[in-house]
Amino acid sequence: MLSLNRTCFLSNSGINGSRTAVQRHGLPVAYVRMPCLLSTRARAAKSGDASVVMETALKEMQLGNGSPAAAEVGLDTTVGGGVKDVYGEDTATEDQLVTPWSVSVASGYNLLRDPHHNKGLAFNEKERDAHYLRGLLPPAIVSHELQVKKMMHNIRQYQVPLQKYMAMTDLQEMNERLFYKLLIDNVEELLPVVYTPTVGEACQKYGSIFRRPQGLFISLKEKGRILEVLKNWPERNIQVIVVTDGERILGLGDLGCQGMGIPVGKLSLYTALGGVRPSACLPVTIDVGTNNESLLNDEFYIGLRQRRATGQEYDELLHEFMSAVKQNYGEKVLIQFEDFANHNAFNLLEKYGTTHLVFNDDIQGTASVVLAGLIAAQKLVGGSLADHRFLFLGAGEAGTGIAELIALEISKQTSVPLDLARKNIWLVDSKGLIVSSRKDSLQHFKKPWAHEHEPIRDLVDAVKAIKPTVLIGTSGVGRTFTKEVIETMASLNEKPIILSLSNPTSQSECTAQEAYRWSEGRAIFASGSPFAPVDYEGKVFVPGQANNAYIFPGFGLGLIMSGAIRVHDDMLLAASEALAAEVSRENFKKGLIYPPFSNIRKISANIAARVAAKAYELGLATRLPQPDDLVKCAESCMYSPTYRNYR
């Protein structure tokens, strides 16, 4: 059993997990909640079926009930699964409630409606016989490749991006492996559909386009019962949770419960870009209400119709969630905070950073991706990071997160103290340049950036005064890099580095065309949401996409494969270096400071390997011994959407 489990970890069908383990035996297994006539283990033993015994052992391991079957696979149930679970029927006393879990083999009509196992017309003759599919499908048998071709053809027929998004969502709900193959094989075309910018519009209209729920909704109504709610999720072996409370969805503000599109989209990328099994991914939205009046008055709104809970009520719900996650899934589940407003984001990261494996994508992932771009850009402009002056428009999660990681890298490169390294980094917020005279009224995350300078209100005046070589937009406000701002940057620098990071496209500080035109084709430009190549005076400029999607999938994979228990800043630096190393000579020739997304799985494997290596070096890895070749290990861990053969 132990060797089977290890083989799964290194197989190309995903990091080890119950579904993978069973699928190796070629049986499409579905979890069903139903009254059990026999205990699952007894039934497994009776059936004599190795896959069912294995499944049962793993299920019991996940339930943490310390069963002999779990012991048989050599795993300590309390380390991986938190405290023992009173819902496990084999250990519950007579007066305790049990959850009647059962495992059944999916077949016939149900198999076609189970997105994890459905292959549609790709079921072969033998499978159609063995799984009672005769008559439920038309006679034609088509290949996975042909299915992809047809779906791409269909999706390209839609003119409206939101229709493409809905078609992709339907596919994900119908045939998961086809969805991921489509996304992986056509990543550059489909990323803007399942992710920014279209996911932003989808969240804004989530209520009216809502068909079937995706992810787990935890609202104030569930206070006191969050552990129970987690147990309603059909998968037991969760490795990554992306959670939002919907208060700062991209640059679109408070979208309340409709922010669910973000965790769902991010986790699709965890699988497609980083190779984490879909069944190990759990999207969560914490609904504490919304202050968005138009949503509160929208009859199609799907969330709680109340203003946001704050203070103790908010903190208690979040704390219950964090505790329940650790209790249910153990210490090594990665919790990625996404699109929280900054007044909660920094506190949550600090509060849970020492007790949980937490990562804030907007603060840390964005920092890592931007640092990678800046490291790569040195090949185009010469010199080192310490030679630059940086100016940010926007001093929130993304802005101060990036600023801090740049300072840390400069401090490490030059051995100057962190405080000194910060001196060449300036930030502007909605009230103007952050300067020492404002220090008392600043939020805590802005204080390190309050340098000595007279107050300046407007960005363009700040550019003239600070004379930055790098301008970074993290304001969430579109078209704030005006013609005058970019012309000033171009007058100060031969090759101004200009990053418009705000999402979606409508919130980008400038367009690619504006950056190239107003800088007379001299800007090194990248944006958070994609822009098409620009033709300026006969030359084609290809803008890069500075988006944390380059980092978090590989970063998460590195944490999972090393069994890391905490995130450390040095892992972010390692990820930046790994990403920067992926920019080829060809890319540089086009002015790119990021590699194309078409290579992203290879890039993610390299990022994962560097992050895992750092986890081992820092003593934060628990999956021992350390594999000799971490890149190979990462590649072999990655989920592949290839159809499995069923017997």
Ligand X SMILES: NC(=O)C1=CN([C@@H]2O[C@H](COP(=O)(O)OP(=O)(O)OC[C@H]3O[C@@H](n4cnc5c(N)ncnc54)[C@H](OP(=O)(O)O)[C@@H]3O)[C@@H](O)[C@H]2O)C=CC1
Which residues inside 358-397 make contact with Mg ion, applying CB under 5 A? Answer: 362
290 binds ligand CC(=O)C(=O)O (CB under 6 A): no
- Chain centroid to CA 449: 28
Cα→Cα distances 548→22, 69, 94, 269, 382, Å:
34, 41, 50, 11, 25
547 binds ligand X (CB under 6 A): yes
Name the minimum Å distance from CB 363 to Mg ion.
10
Assess contact for 340 and 247: CB atoms under 8 A: yes
Q: Please, is 266 exposed, middle or buried when counting C-beta atoms within 10 Å of its C-beta (0-12, 13-18, 19+)?
A: buried
Three-state DSSP at 252 gives coil
Residue closer to ligand CC(=O)C(=O)O, measured from CB, 53 or 334: 334
CA distance 402 to 393: 12
244 binds, among ligand X, Mg ion, ligand CC(=O)C(=O)O, none (CB under 5 to 8 A by kind): none
Indicate whether 175 belongs to the interface with ligand CC(=O)C(=O)O (CB under 6 A): no
Among 28, 259, 476, 591, binds ligand X (CB under 6 A): 476
Q: Which of 301, 506, 505, 476 has its CA nearest to residue 399?
A: 476
Q: Which of residues 526-565 bind ligand CC(=O)C(=O)O (CB under 6 A)?
A: 528, 547-548
In angstroms, give the least distance from the CB of 507 to ligand X.
Answer: 5
Residue of the chain from 119, 236, 248, 601 that contacts ligand X (CB under 6 A): 248
Residues 369-388 that bind ligand X (CB under 6 A): 369
Core vs surface per residue 60-89: b (16+ CB within 10 A) or e: bbbbbbbbebbeebebebeebbbeebebbb
CA atoms within 13 A on the CB side of 197: 17
CA 463 distance to own-chain centroid: 34
Of the pair 60, 362, the CB lying nearest ligand CC(=O)C(=O)O is at 362
Q: How many CB atoms lie within 10 A of CB 92?
A: 15
Return the biggest CA–CA distance within the chain: 80
Indicate whether 235 belongs to the interface with ligand CC(=O)C(=O)O (CB under 6 A).
no
Of 431 and 632, nearer to ligand X (C-beta) is 431
Q: Which residues contact 564 (CB under 8 A, 6 or more apart)?
A: 332, 357, 558, 571, 611, 612, 615, 620, 621, 622
Tokens of 491: 């007058």
Binding residues for ligand CC(=O)C(=O)O restricted to 476-535, rule: CB under 6 A:
503, 528
Active site residues: 195, 266
Bridge-based pairing of strands 101-105 and 29-33 is antiparallel
Q: 């990681």: which residue's tokens?
A: 405
Contact region for ligand X (CB under 6 A) — 35-43, 202-210, 393-401, 625-633? 393-401
Q: Of the two residues 201 and 338, which places its CB atom closer to Mg ion in the complex?
A: 338
Q: How far is the CB of 44 from ligand X (least distance, A)?
A: 46
Residue 242 binds: one of ligand CC(=O)C(=O)O, Mg ion, ligand X, none (C-beta under 5 to 8 A by kind) = none
CB of 148 to ligand X, least distance (A): 28
- H or E segment to which residue 79 belongs: helix 77-81
Residue span 499-518 as binding mask against ligand X, x where in contact by CB under 6 A, dash where not: --xxx---x-----------
Instruction: Choose the contact partner of 395 out of ligand CC(=O)C(=O)O, ligand X, Mg ion, none; CB within 5 to 8 A by kind.
Output: ligand X
258 sits near ligand CC(=O)C(=O)O (criterion: CB under 6 A): no
Task: Kindly tell me which residue out of 21, 44, 168, 250 binds ligand CC(=O)C(=O)O, with binding defined by CB under 6 A.
Answer: 250
Token look-up 């790119």 returns 592
Look up residue 314 and give its amino acid.
Answer: Y
Shorter beta-carbon distance to ligand X: residue 28 or 528: 528
Residues 318-347 that bind ligand X (CB under 6 A): 342
CA 2 centroid distance within chain: 30
For the chain, helix (H) and strand (E) counts, in that order, are 30, 16
Residues near Mg ion (CB under 5 A): 338-339, 362
Residues near ligand CC(=O)C(=O)O (CB under 6 A): 196, 250, 339, 361-362, 503, 528, 547-548
Residues near ligand X (CB under 6 A): 248, 250-251, 342, 362, 366, 369, 393-399, 428-431, 474-477, 480, 501-503, 507, 528, 546-548
